Amino acid sequence: MSELAKKKCKPCEGGVPAYSAEQARNMLQGLKGWILEDGRLVKVYPFANYHHTMAFVNALAWISHREDHHPDLEVGYNKCRVTYWTHAVDGLSENDFICAAKCDALSEL
């Protein structure tokens, strides 16, 4: 598990700046397969079937609840597109990268 995945999200109520494009690119280096798209952190996870896709989605929902940081999910038969973005800062924050790393750790189980 990456060091990022071991961290806990911190409450974010705004008042702090979003990561700059350079900061986001630097943080992206610690993640595998994630991209920056329109200022958001995005990854598509492939699965063998709908059952595996939904198992991932349900486990991710539990992690998101525990971290109090929720992604946008686009679910298909054999894939799930995960998008992170911190609404309170109108951009990316460390929480997005922490949760992305937790998604990766979940997908490796």
User: How far is residue 8's CA from residue 51's CA, in Å, rounded to a whole number?
Assistant: 29
Structurally, how many domains does the chain consist of?
1
Residue 56 maps to a domain: yes
Q: Which of 35, 73, 77, 33 is nearest to 57 (CA)?
A: 73
Report which DSSP code applies to 91. Answer: B
**The predicted structure's pLDDT at residue 69:** 96
Single pTM value for the model:
0.93
Domain with residue 83: its CATH number is: 3.30.1360.20
Residue 98 maps to a domain: yes
Helices 50-67, 94-107: crossing angle, 10 deg rounding: 140
Q: In order along the chain (109 residues), what is the average pLDDT of each group of 10 residues?
A: 88 86 96 97 98 98 96 98 96 97 93
Full residue range of the structural domain in which residue 92 is found: 40-109
Residues 4 and 30 sit within 8 Å (Cβ to Cβ): yes
**The predicted structure's pLDDT at residue 1:** 54
Q: Quick one: three-class SS letters along 3-70?
A: HHHHCCCCCCCCCCCCCCHHHHHHHHCCCCCCEEECCEEEEEEECCCHHHHHHHHHHHHHHHHHHCCC
**The predicted structure's pLDDT at residue 18:** 95
Residue 50 maps to a domain: yes
φ, ψ for residue 52 (rounded to 5)? -65, -40
**The predicted structure's pLDDT at residue 76:** 98
Residue 66 maps to a domain: yes
Residue 28 maps to a domain: no
